[in-house]
Amino acid sequence: MKTNPLKLFPAIDLLNGKLVRLVRGDFDQVTDYGLDPVETAVDFRRQGAEFLHVVDLDGARDGEAANHRLIEQMVKRSGLRVQVGGGIRNMERIAAYLDAGAMRVILGSAAVNDPSFLREALDAFGEQVAVGVDMMQGEVMTHGWEVGSGVEGLRFCKELMEMGVKTLIVTDIEKDGELKGTNLSLYENLSKLPVDVVASGGITQLEELEALQQMGLYGAIVGKAFYAGRFTLKDALQVLENRRED
């Protein structure tokens, strides 16, 4: 039986203009890979990527899109279909990223704390606005994953869907950056919702990508597994294509 192809989003997280990865969103556990972010994005395209996930970690924590010029350069140079998150808290920043060629923007803290802004963004930009739902033990976290919101994650996902959000990027923070596997049971539950769900956090094995594809999920974000050499982008794309044809 053929399944819809899982869209694979290589991840680039930016902190102080550098390509980094965190462990469970902890800014005290930072790995700087010494890679040029723009050239890395271009290289992902050379390896066969179609999509890219970029997060401004400075923006996510502080609310200022500090790396926006670098991100705009990445969008233009790579030619990838890029989704961008981190520090996007006004209409002007949304418009700037979309005008630069981004496929969509991801609202995180702003979507939780300012529903009226989310509604305004959805009215103006429609499906080009996604929401990042970052969960710790089921609770939605904000401000670079450092502040608890008191909002239950699955309920919030349903509320966002009812508001008209078409794409949710859902992260289990406890899995993120650990290279110990992702939360497949969470995504199995989310796969039942009539909304595009992108899985994020802890994907370590090719078999996990196969499982997410079999669930019918829209997409998956892979970061540290690539940088740590667990598997290559080419391997991941090949496995997904082979599984789709089974």
Catalytic residues: 13, 134
Contact by Cβ (8 Å): 80, 52? yes
Instruction: Please tell me the distance from the alpha carbon of residue 108 to that of residue 117, in angstroms, as a whole number.
Output: 11
The secondary element (H helix, E strand) that includes residue 185 is helix 184-190
Q: Is 137 helix (H, G, I), strand (E, B) or coil?
A: coil
Residues pairing with 187 in the sheet: none
Backbone torsions φ then ψ of 108, nearest 5 degrees: -120, -90
The upper half-sphere exposure of residue 218, i.e. CA atoms within 13 Å in the direction of its Cβ, equals 15
> Where does residue 22 rank: exposed (0-12), middle (13-18), buried (19+ CB within 10 A)?
buried
CA distances from 65 to 62, 68, 71 (A): 8, 6, 10
DSSP 8-state secondary structure symbol assigned to residue 25: T
Place of tokens 């994005």: 41
Q: Is 70 helix (H, G, I), strand (E, B) or coil?
A: helix
Length of the chain (residues): 246
